[in-house]
Amino acid sequence: MAQTSHQTNKLKEAFTRMSTGQSLPQLNTDRSTRKKRALLITPTYGGKANHWGLVSPINDANVMKTLLINQYGYTVRTLHEGEGSDSLPTYENIKQAIDSFILKEDNVDYVLLYAGHSDQVEAKDRLEEEDGRSEFIIPCDALGDNSVHEVKREFNEILDTKKVIFDYYLHEALVEKIQQVKGSQLVAIFDSCHSCTLLNLRHHRCNRVGSFKSSLRRISRRILLEPMEKYLEYTLVRTESERSRHVPKTDAKGPMGVYLPFLSQLSNAKQCSGFCLRLPTPEKPQVICISAAKDSQFAMENNQNGSLTTALIPLFSSEPQPTYEEIMIFAQQSVAAGRDRNFKQVDEWYAKKKREATEKKGHSPAFWRFTRLPEERATRDYYISQIEAHSDPQLSSERPLRMAARLVL
């Protein structure tokens, strides 16, 4: 028995040593002494006056700013309308802010919030994108004025595609830059449509919680794939010199690529299989992205009934260091509750229309349920389908996450 436990400890020790490399950099893990920078970008496109204008991002940005300063000690820069031309969330200003956001310094914590419109187009290089589409965020000057037009103009008609900022640009300016330093962390929140891969991070399926499918994936990697990987790694990388030369599998090129092509591939595949192994590589900067919707979905971005930011703020206010799992469950529940409120509103509107029509015809109010209103019914069905297509919050990351770990801002 003692022998087995000794072996287990030795195995654990060896695995940690092999996975993390021989010389660990000095990490500053005391968060209170680290440099903290936040950038909040919340375009509202003319607000209420404009058909495509948004209202909630300004309020979200203000509450988030107070939270980041008071609770976590961040230095916050905001880009939103109404604070002078330097702070306008224009194409030039957003690019400049993003370009200068990540410093060439180790041990810095970053928070980026984008709440506004985003969209997707067919990607030139389909291999880069799982769904064959590239996502982009939309600065305030990329969307034309729609307030003067009596007829609503379609989004595409007023969108200036030369002034949008693509996911690959964000990846280069944020993710690739932070990967050149040590011990830093970037937490990005994208409260917008089609936002799951706006940072083009590698993993998202393996970070899902809540559904039967995601639970099955997590259980199988926890009880089957990871223990098998650890065991095989220990027994196959036999000699001390082999161990010292060992490169963590997340870098794809170590001897494990030869020994265990199948399991290594699970961690290194370009597309997230959902079965990715969670391997310890603490020296690498952590990059995570909390987003309001899958790539195929819209977000309730102009709706008090369920924006992602409105859901996250009370969570972080009451629990400064939630686990990733708590973040996702809380976000999903808040957004689902918002969706229910939206369904209810649409149903109430339709019932009201029917009641009015019944009264107009002079029928008994008891018969309003049987009144046929094809036009209103079509409108109701349209809104219901829109709400159904709406968001399902996602968590993506550059390496697979342990969902029970805490997010320390």
Q: Which residues bind Zn ion (CB under 5 A)?
A: 203, 206, 272, 276, 400
Q: Cβ of residue 225: shortest distance to Zn ion, in angstroms?
A: 12
Residue 266 CB, nearest distance to Zn ion (Å)?
A: 8
Is the Cβ of residue 80 or residue 278 nearer to Zn ion in the bound state?
278
Of 181 and 209, which has the nearer Cβ to Zn ion? 209
Q: CB of residue 176 vs Zn ion: minimum separation in angstroms?
A: 19
Q: 18, 279 in Cβ contact below 8 A?
A: no
Smallest distance from the beta carbon of 73 to Zn ion, in angstroms?
32
313 neighbors 68 (Cβ within 8 angstroms): no
Minimum CB–partner distance for residue 396 and Zn ion (Å):
9
Nearer to Zn ion (CB atom), residue 206 or residue 256: 206
Nearer to Zn ion, 119 or 295 (CB): 295
Three-class secondary structure of residue 221 per DSSP = helix
Cα–Cα distances in Å, from 225 out to 21, 262, 267, 275, 309? 22, 11, 11, 8, 35
Closest by CA position to 403, among listed 292, 278, 291? 278
- Min CB(142)–Zn ion separation in Å: 32
Name the DSSP class of 127. T
Could you give the CA distance from residue 45 to residue 293 in angstroms, rounded to a whole number? 21
CB 349 within 8 A of CB 380: yes
DSSP 298-326: B--TT-TTT-HHHHHHHHHHH-SS-BHHH
Q: Which is nearer to Zn ion, 272 or 327 (CB)?
A: 272
Nearer to Zn ion, 107 or 397 (CB): 397
